Amino acid sequence: MTVVTATAPGKVILFGEHAVVYGQPALAVPVNQVQALATVTPGQGDFWIEARDLGRRYRLGDAPAGDPLAKAADLVRERAGLDRLPDAVLAVSATIPIASGLGSGAAVVTAAVRALAQSIGLILAPAEVSALVFETEKLLHGTPSGIDNTVVAFEQPVYFVKGQPPEPFRVASPFHLLIADTGRPSPTKLAVGDVRAAHEREPDRYGQLFDAMGAIAREARRLIESGQPEALGPLMGRNHALLQTIGVSSAELDRLVGAACQAGALGAKLSGGGRGGNMLALVTPQAAATVRQALVGEGAVRVIHTVVGQARC
């Protein structure tokens, strides 16, 4: 066995976060500017897991209960029909900020599953990788919709409805996004739990809000597939307002959204679980530098410029 490495990208949700947990469609795209990396190195007298960014190293057998990487290793082992994994170190690291809506958990586990599978000669299709990672997402998020593992494992823009096969969609005309980090980590599980409690208290009202978000996601897909991405701006504003109404925005997110729009973005919204984490601004290439400056001026700790639909070589 030689050293094996694998990577996985981050992701952003363009439209439909939270509503997707209740059966509405959502759109998400991979973000290749941030990546998770996993390495499997043979030897070392047992199977070890090393989470480098967290400064943790432990034997698979000593993993804390509910550890996503240990779960992933066990699932790969079972899928390969092995009683035990060969002695090795599975090391993971990422440039994706944790708990910020960029899919760090799904990406780290996806890279780990890919590296581990490859190290034992197991070939897994993207749908299988996604299904394995989904099992570990449940440990992190409680009741995940499955959108993070899907977009990260397929590495394509996807139109996602919970429980249905993902539909990769075509980006007819590339568009530019700035992804700005509030610098405030926010565990998705908490926001999802609060929304669930509110939905249980007011099912009709929340049902209508989720329906409205679903309609926006469907319309956004149509615009992206028909080459009219600049028309997404107003939809982003409407989706952000709905996310504010369900209580998952924050003062920082609202300030960044406002700053982006004032500086010439075509639209802006929070992305992912909310309460902190990242927001998105749709920009023309000409306005990108000005909007980036405005976001940094308003406190963004990092701004990623990504082009959705750009061919990768």
Interacting residues toward ligand PMV by CB under 6 A = 13, 17-18, 20-21, 101, 103, 141, 144-145, 147-148, 188, 192, 272-273, 277
Tell the smallest beta-carbon distance from residue 230 to ligand PMV (Å). Answer: 25
CB 242 within 8 A of CB 213: yes
Task: Using the minimum distance from each CB to ligand PMV, give the nearer residue, 214 or 272.
Answer: 272
Hey, what are 104's tokens?
């760090």
Distance CA 234, CA 71 (A): 42
Residues 124 and 31: beta-carbon distance below 8 Å? no
Distance between CA atoms of residues 201 and 171, nearest Å: 39
CB of 227 to ligand PMV, least distance (A): 27
Closest CB to ligand PMV among residues 88, 192: 192
Minimum distance from residue 18 beta carbon to ligand PMV (Å): 5
180: β partners: 279, 303
Instruction: Answer yes or no: are the C-beta atoms of 6 and 114 closer than 8 Å.
Output: yes
Locate tokens 């902190």: which residue? 276
Question: So which residues are the catalytic ones?
Answer: 148
Which residue lies nearer to ligand PMV by CB, 114 or 141? 141
Measured from the CB atom, is 229 or 277 closer to ligand PMV? 277
10 vs 229, beta carbon nearer ligand PMV:
10
Cβ-proximal residue to ligand PMV, closest one: 272
Rounded-to-integer distance, Cα 313 and Cα 118, Å: 23
172 and 225 in contact (C-beta within 8 Å)? yes
Tell me how far, at minimum, the Cβ of 122 lies from ligand PMV, in Å.
27
DSSP string, 46-97: SEEEEEGGGTEEEEGGGPPTT-HHHHHHHHHHHHHT-SSPPSEEEEEEESSP
Q: Do the beta carbons of residue 32 and residue 312 sit within 8 Å?
A: yes
Query: What Rg do the C-alpha atoms of the chain give, in angstroms?
Result: 19
How near is the Cβ of 80 to ligand PMV at its closest, in Å? Answer: 28
**b (16+ CB within 10 A) / e for 132-157:** bbbebbebbbeebbbbbbbbbbbbbb
Residue 172 C-beta: closest distance to ligand PMV, Å: 25
Task: Give the nearer residue to ligand PMV in terms of CB position, either 68 or 277.
Answer: 277
